[in-house]
């Protein structure tokens, strides 16, 4: 019995020693190599990020080599003297000119060695293409006339597929989408012009970046029209503050015991900014194809109360207490009048939205959205497809509205523009339809 006990103990010791050996210095599994991002194309400048990892004792050595014409260029070679480095992201910048690379094929070789007794090695090769030639832009619209605060639609073709392309207006990029222009493949982009844009101050250009990272920037011939926006003073009454502010105080804990005027200032600044960001986020959720057709519908039998771009100064007790710029058109009809979808699209948002009250956002594709606010009731749901003229709810006085009306807005990739252009069939024909059908 004692002999059997000793034998069992020896077996257990041997098993434990074997387990320790094969999971530490005697491990047989090699390191792992993971590419991050697209490494198939390398342009004049390229940042490569490779993650090396090992599940045993850790990494001993990693190496990144780029070879062209049988000439290896060592981009990274790192030794890890101590065991225990289990994960190591390595980023290297490829400067094609400094490495004397040229257009054509090359090979990227990645090597990792671990700290095991056997020095397990993993080597991975990947073919890459060196590409120094940026995409060529062929603009199809000789000149575009744009109103400050308005929309412009542009079409163009590229010499190669783009990883990123669109129109830059200042620091904003409006993405372009593949389409058919005059029967041939091309790109279409809708972009918005700021209300304060002038011919001398505006920087508008097409950006095209290929998979290798090569960029082309092409200036756009535009004629920016002269336009002035209205300004008016809006007196705040105690009746209005007493009517509207308790609703916001109940929703926002920090306003609970604040004076009504202080609550209004918070709502008109911080909450307005937060609500605008939410609107813009939902307006950027768009189909990469045109969903709309014909002219956009305007609310029936409605009189405009406020126009796009109106600059409002709020006055209380003879003192200025706030400002805002109106980003839509206010339309008033009968109380709880039916609200129709301005055009075909997909509902992206429904529900309460701060100063906008009950709101609906409809995506019409290619970055074009419409916004319906202050509604008393909503009759659609997110992701629902709607048709032009379909009733989506009723007008109301929710949010910061002082009376029953519809706030109607149009946004291009989240930037609000004058809706009246999209109500005008002649504007759509000259600025959208002709450009897509004939590339004029």
What is the pTM for the complete model shown? 0.84
Regarding whether 406 and 262 lie in a shared domain, the answer is yes
Regarding whether 294 and 251 lie in a shared domain, the answer is yes
Point out which residues pair with 126 in neighbouring strands: 108
- CB distance 134 to 160 below 8 Å: no
Regarding whether 214 and 105 lie in a shared domain, the answer is no
Task: Output the domain CATH number for residue 79.
Answer: 2.60.40.3880
Q: How far apart (Å, rounded) are the C-alpha atoms in residues 359 and 254?
A: 24
Task: Output the domain CATH number for residue 338.
Answer: 2.70.70.10
In a domain, 88, yes or no: yes
Which of 46, 117, 58 shows the shortest CA–CA distance to 88? Answer: 58
Regarding whether 183 and 36 lie in a shared domain, the answer is no
* Cα 253 to chain centroid, rounded: 31
Residue 19: which H helix or E strand, with range? helix 2-23
Regarding whether 115 and 56 lie in a shared domain, the answer is yes
> HSE (CB half, 13 Å, CA atoms) of 354?
17
Q: How far apart (Å, rounded) are the C-alpha atoms in residues 241 and 32?
A: 64
Question: So what's the pLDDT on residue 38?
Answer: 75
Which of 416, 341, 352 shows the shortest CA–CA distance to 385? Answer: 341
DSSP character string of 346-407? EEEEEEE-GGG-EEEEEE-STTEEEEEEEESEE---TT-EE-TT-EEEE-B--TT-SSSBEE
Regarding whether 43 and 31 lie in a shared domain, the answer is yes
Radius of gyration of the chain (CA): 31
Helix (H, G, I), strand (E, B) or coil at 237: coil
Helix (H, G, I), strand (E, B) or coil at 343: coil
Strand duo 164-169 + 172-175: pairing:
antiparallel
Question: So what's the pLDDT on residue 44?
Answer: 85
Regarding whether 386 and 312 lie in a shared domain, the answer is yes
Regarding whether 93 and 45 lie in a shared domain, the answer is yes
Residue 438: which H helix or E strand, with range? helix 434-438
- CB distance 163 to 207 below 8 Å: no
Regarding whether 287 and 194 lie in a shared domain, the answer is no
In a domain, 48, yes or no: yes
Domain end position, chosen among 91, 110, 130: 130
Task: Output the domain CATH number for residue 220.
Answer: 2.60.40.10
In a domain, 329, yes or no: yes
Question: So what's the pLDDT on residue 20?
Answer: 47
In a domain, 297, yes or no: yes
Domain end position, chosen among 101, 130, 159: 130
What are 249-293's pLDDT values in tens digits? 999 999 998 999 999 999 999 999 999 999 999 999 999 999 999
Domain end position, chosen among 95, 130, 165: 130
Q: Which of the residues in the chain have pLDDT under 50?
A: 15, 17-23, 439-440
**Number of domains forming the structure of the chain:** 3
Which of 189, 177, 187 shows the shortest CA–CA distance to 156? Answer: 187
In a domain, 426, yes or no: no
In a domain, 65, yes or no: yes
* Structural domain that includes position 310: 231-420
In a domain, 436, yes or no: no
Regarding whether 189 and 176 lie in a shared domain, the answer is yes
Regarding whether 162 and 87 lie in a shared domain, the answer is no
Regarding whether 199 and 287 lie in a shared domain, the answer is no
In a domain, 433, yes or no: no
Q: How far apart (Å, rounded) are the C-alpha atoms in residues 199 and 185?
A: 31
């Amino acid at each position: 019995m004692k002999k059997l006990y000793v034998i069992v103990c020896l077996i257990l010791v041997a098993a434990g020693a074997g387990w320790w050996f094969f999971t530490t210095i005697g491990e047989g599994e090699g390191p792992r190599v993971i590419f991050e991002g697209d490494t198939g194309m390398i342009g004049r400048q390229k940042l490569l990020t490779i993650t090396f990892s090992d599940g045993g004792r850790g990494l001993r050595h990693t190496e990144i080599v780029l070879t062209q014409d049988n000439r290896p260029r060592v981009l990274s070679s790192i030794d890890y003297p101590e065991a225990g480095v289990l994960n190591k992201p390595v980023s290297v910048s490829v400067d094609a000119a400094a490495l004397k690379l040229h257009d054509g094929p090359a090979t990227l070789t990645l090597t990792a060695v671990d700290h095991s007794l056997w020095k397990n090695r993993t080597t991975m090769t990947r073919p890459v293409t060196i590409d120094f030639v940026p995409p060529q832009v062929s603009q199809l619209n000789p000149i575009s006339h744009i109103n400050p605060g308005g929309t412009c639609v542009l079409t163009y073709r590229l010499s190669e597929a783009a990883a990123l392309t669109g129109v830059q207006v200042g620091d904003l990029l409006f993405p372009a989408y593949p389409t058919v222009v005059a029967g041939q493949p091309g790109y279409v982009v809708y972009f918005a012009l700021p209300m304060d844009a002038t011919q001398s101050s505006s920087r508008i250009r097409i950006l095209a970046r290929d998979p290798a990272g090569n960029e082309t920037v092409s200036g756009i011939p535009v004629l920016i029209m002269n336009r002035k926006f209205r300004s008016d003073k809006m007196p705040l009454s105690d009746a209005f503050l007493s009517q509207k502010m308790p609703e916001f105080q109940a929703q926002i804990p920090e306003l609970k015991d604040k004076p009504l005027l202080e609550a209004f200032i918070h709502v008109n600044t911080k909450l307005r900014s937060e609500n605008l960001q939410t609107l813009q986020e939902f307006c950027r959720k768009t189909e990469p194809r045109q969903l709309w057709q014909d002219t956009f519908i305007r609310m029936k039998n409605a009189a405009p109360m406020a126009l796009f771009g109106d600059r409002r100064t709020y006055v209380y007790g003879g003192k200025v207490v706030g400002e805002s710029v109106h980003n839509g058109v206010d339309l008033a009809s009968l109380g709880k009048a039916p609200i129709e979808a301005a055009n075909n699209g997909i509902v992206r948002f429904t529900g309460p939205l701060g100063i906008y009250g009950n709101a609906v956002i409809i995506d019409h594709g290619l970055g074009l959205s419409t916004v319906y606010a202050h509604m008393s009731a909503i009759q659609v749901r997110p992701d629902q497809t709607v048709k032009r003229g379909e009733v989506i709810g009723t007008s109301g006085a929710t949010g910061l509205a002082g009376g029953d009306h519809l706030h109607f807005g149009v946004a291009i990739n989240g930037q609000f523009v004058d809706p009246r252009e999209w109500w005008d069939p002649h504007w759509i024909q000259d600025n959208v339809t002709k450009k897509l059908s004939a590339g004029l």
